Amino acid sequence: MSESRVALVTGSTGSLGAAICYELAAAGFNLALHCRGAKGLEKAQDLAFELSHYGGTYLPVQAELPNAEQIGAMFSQVKREFGRLDALVNNAGLNRDQLMVRMSEADFEQVLDVNLKAAFLCMQQAAKIMMRQRYGRIINIASVAGQLGTFGQANYAASKAALIGLTKTAARELAARQITVNAVAPGFIDAGLTRSLTLEQREAFIAQVPLGRAGSPRDVALAVAFLVGDKADYITGQVLSVNGGLLMP
């Protein structure tokens, strides 16, 4: 591919999203930095400035997830500004943890809307661009929760398990157009959603990890960078686990 590859990263302003953006910028990608709201836009603009030393173009783009109209407008903006889209990283995520018997219907639906439905809508839009190019990379950020099941996360685990199924289906449907679709399944990563845990909860999670430590956002970002690169040309429909040995299928 040419040096002017373009990637869209959803949830770019979080710690994991930003780490992914840094690795892709270092690999020579121009980036569309998805964000939401005024505060999100400020963070995306700051991130674009921080990435500027890599010499690419870094464009903040806004959309509420899973608003189909706004998602469509976001992809239209990317196509208009860059002329192409080589990679989509569905990184945006949400959790609303609670025991299943106490979980509200609203919390269940909201987590599936952001983690699954929004990813589906973004994949649809990306696929339309990539199919015309006869090239593309789609990476979905899943979770060990979707592979293992996690206490108090019926909504989150269900959304990530479904995202893995969506990944495999899309990989089969899009392979003929040379579009690969893979998932990265982080384990216990010291970022975003895990930082709200108590010290006792963190220690309990880490005690289950054979490598004896939490992962970093960069650990996940390096896996994403590999899968969007040329060395992963023959890899599709796979789940790359970045979990320190927490789950060994």
Q: Which residues are catalytic?
A: 156
| Phi/psi at 220 (5° precision) | -75, -40
Torsion of CA 57, 60, 66, 72, to 10 degrees: -60
Sheet holding 87-90, edge to edge: 58-62, 30-35, 6-9, 87-90, 136-141, 179-186, 239-242
SS3 137: strand
The per-type count for the chain, helices as H runs and strands as E runs, is 9, 7
How many residues are there in the chain?
Answer: 249
SS3 103: coil
